Chain A
């Protein structure tokens, strides 16, 4: 098998419930190395929950998760599914970067300290190494000049770019973006997209939840439409729009967000 075709992460038949609500309903997903997947869908359809199951911020009720071909994350104790040892979960998470809608930068740390925090605390790098990694990442997102300020005095777009740098500093194999531009003023969306696009061009594997159709089409290899915890449509991004016309639900959703 071609190296580029290796499956990085695979979800097999996963289900996640919140009490009565079925947030993820028997979903299957394979993401290959270097592939970019965009997920769209109405609010409450389970997009965030799906991303969060991939790095175990949400515990699934059924199904299996494979990372680099190995089943990971859960063990069975007395027939009950429990999360694997914290050490293993943390190791898995450290290989998966996540970018949140609301940034969640650490307000008590400066920009560079935010980016150094992962390498320092999780990867146990010394200060020098962590600093040089952080500077590289800040350069990549174009925020070297802000390295010594606190997040409180950054714009939304700058905050999100720092959050991306913070995730990248862990040298992740997979990046998860949960509506990275939804909390931004329209004029700040572009700079964040540029940063993500650059990452895509470098070959990063990524799953991105977004409402920006143009961006999904331009960047993703595959687009998934989600509703009620299920994949309603999954298609190559070039084919997605023509296929979507056949489904009235998707068509009306797309029309709504394009307006």
Chain B
């Protein structure tokens, strides 16, 4: 009996103790909320926007309908974001307020205003984009011209230099080594400057486009020459022997047997070079060529609008993506015989 009574008393006191704890924690949390709102407003009046935002974010969701601290804090926050054109963040704050105070008119109106403004901002981006696009596209056509020209010329130039490099005729081999050494060992920018600004001093004056063609063509031929040479030398010597044993000349063996086998191996590094090429064409903007980079530069200097740079970036990305995908397709095709 005695045991039983003492046990029930113990149980009761524990319950009371727990209740007191919950109450205390509630009171303290309520006090903390009021503090954060006040703190935030204080910082705001002092002009410490970031600190104020931090405090407002700490304000806890309301426990009762009468508690309006959360509403006030988050509304200020939403307006701050709105003024900073942080539309997504502002919208998120409004949506949180409406979760607890679905009827609040001020918040609803603010949300509408945000959505409106957001649309206008995007519209402005599009409108400005439309304004810049013709000039940028014109530049893109020039960039593509340079890229396609170099893509056509440099594999041929590279092949010729590579064959010269592996020739047993020493002067030719040395000459090709020299070309590769020079064009791979100096910046493309320097080469372009030399061809466009330097050659006139030697009595050779070239139009910007001609100079750009020469610079890019020679530079990329030199790079591809090394890739092609490595590709040719990676083919088993037995292939050349078998071709010769059939009675093929060196040229026939190269054309029919050796070079076709290099395609699979040289395609990935050549693809890499061509991606670099798309970006490298931007360098010719320094020799009075108006291509994509130069067009973007001119527009940016007129309007000081970051939209121009974003658009130019998007166009470059589109170009590199298309070329990457195309090359992957070609790679898969030329390597087919090793999978069967």
Contact = CB atoms under 8 A, between A and B. Distances in A.
Contacts of B247: 90-95, 118, 122, 170
27 contacts: A57-B241, A86-B249, A87-B249, A91-B247, A92-B247, A94-B246, A94-B247, A97-B245, A98-B242, A98-B245, A100-B242, A102-B238, A104-B238, A104-B239, A104-B241, A106-B239, A106-B243, A106-B257, A121-B246, A121-B252, A122-B248, A122-B252, A150-B337, A150-B338, A152-B338, A166-B246, A170-B246
Interface residues of A, number: 33
Contacts of A57: 241, 244-245
Contacts of B338: 107, 150, 152
A150 B338 CA distance: 8
Contacts of B236: 104
Interface of A: 55, 57, 86-87, 90-98, 100, 102, 104-109, 117-118, 121-122, 149-150, 152-153, 163, 166-167, 170
Nearest to A106: B257
A100 B241 CA distance: 9
B261 interface: yes
Contacts of B241: 57, 100, 104
B261 A108 contact: yes
B260 interface: yes
Interface of B: 236, 238-239, 241-250, 252, 256-257, 260-261, 337-338, 340
B340 A149 contact: yes
B242 A90 contact: no
- B-side binding surface: helix, strand, loop or mixed? helix
Given A100-B241, A107-B261, A117 B246 contact: yes
B242 A104 contact: yes
Contacts of A107: 261, 337-338
A174 B186 CA distance: 55
A107 B239 CA distance: 9
A57 B244 CA distance: 8
Contacts of A95: 247
A93 B245 contact: yes
Given A57-B241, A150-B337, 19 more contacts: A55-B245, A90-B248, A93-B245, A94-B247, A95-B247, A98-B242, A105-B242, A106-B242, A107-B337, A108-B260, A108-B261, A118-B246, A121-B246, A122-B247, A152-B337, A152-B340, A153-B340, A167-B245, A170-B246
Contact of A93 (B246, B250, B260): B246
B141 to A, nearest CB: 37
Nearest to B252: A121
